[in-house]
């Protein structure tokens, strides 16, 4: 059953990630992105990382992707963007490098499995996460929260419709 669930969530994640990239409709791409996050959360649950799965669903799928979806629906997205051909070679090179890394990792899988089996589990608990979050990683978390606030305010300012004032006819 575990192998079936892993294959299901992995396939869901890959198909939805391809849907994000290939979709020309931004609303459909945002929905594919949310489903992709659900697939990754399912993979986290299979790894018994329940806190990461919950935080991924709560923060990313629940807040960021939903906010993105509502902002996209508020903005006028009927105009078609111009195709960007300058970065096609760079994108193809990066895709080839990622494919090469994936193939090398697939061939190294037995060695990696033996190395993972030789190391013991650290037994991370919620208390350890909280301690690290509020001591070691407090400043990065605050900076990311501030950047998200600035991005949200920027989106609100950019999505406002500018109306002509009555005096300037």
Number of domains, the chain: 2
Write down which residue in 36, 58, 77 finishes a domain: 77
**pTM greater than the 0.85 cutoff:** no
The secondary structure of 46-96 as a DSSP string is: HTT-HHHHHHIIIIIIIIIHHHHHHHHHHS---SPPPP--TTHHHHHHHHH
| Domain match, 73 and 4 both | yes
| Domain match, 3 and 67 both | yes
| Domain match, 70 and 130 both | no
- Could you tell me if residue 92 is inside a domain? no
Neighbouring C-alpha atoms within 13 Å toward the C-beta of 87: 6
Query: Structural domain of residue 132, as residue ranges?
Result: 126-162
- Could you tell me if residue 47 is inside a domain? yes
CB 20 within 8 A of CB 36: yes
Write down which residue in 42, 62, 77 finishes a domain: 77
- Each residue's pLDDT tens digit in the chain (169 positions)? 888 999 999 999 999 999 988 888 877 888 888 899 899 999 999 988 888 888 888 888 777 777 777 777 776 555 555 555 666 777 778 878 878 877 777 776 666 556 555 555 555 577 777 788 788 888 887 888 788 788 777 777 776 666 555 555 5
| Domain match, 72 and 6 both | yes
Write down which residue in 18, 46, 77 finishes a domain: 77
Q: What is the CATH number of the domain that holds 27?
A: 1.20.120.1200
């Amino acid at each position: 059953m575990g192998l079936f669930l892993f294959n299901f969530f992995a396939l869901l994640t890959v198909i939805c990630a391809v849907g994000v990239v290939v979709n020309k409709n931004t609303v459909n791409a945002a929905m594919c992105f949310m489903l992709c996050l659900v697939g990754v959360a399912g993979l986290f649950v299979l790894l018994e990382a329940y806190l990461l799965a919950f935080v991924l669903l709560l923060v990313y799928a629940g807040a960021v992707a939903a906010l993105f979806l509502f902002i996209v629906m508020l903005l006028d997205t009927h105009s078609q963007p111009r195709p960007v051909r300058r970065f096609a070679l760079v994108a193809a090179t990066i895709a080839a490098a990622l494919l090469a890394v994936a193939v090398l990792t697939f061939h190294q899988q037995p060695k990696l499995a033996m190395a993972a089996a030789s190391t013991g589990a650290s037994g991370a608990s919620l208390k350890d996460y909280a301690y690290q979050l509020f001591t070691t990683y407090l400043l990065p978390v605050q900076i990311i929260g501030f950047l998200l606030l600035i991005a949200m305010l920027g989106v609100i300012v950019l999505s406002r419709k500018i109306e002509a004032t009555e005096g300037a006819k």
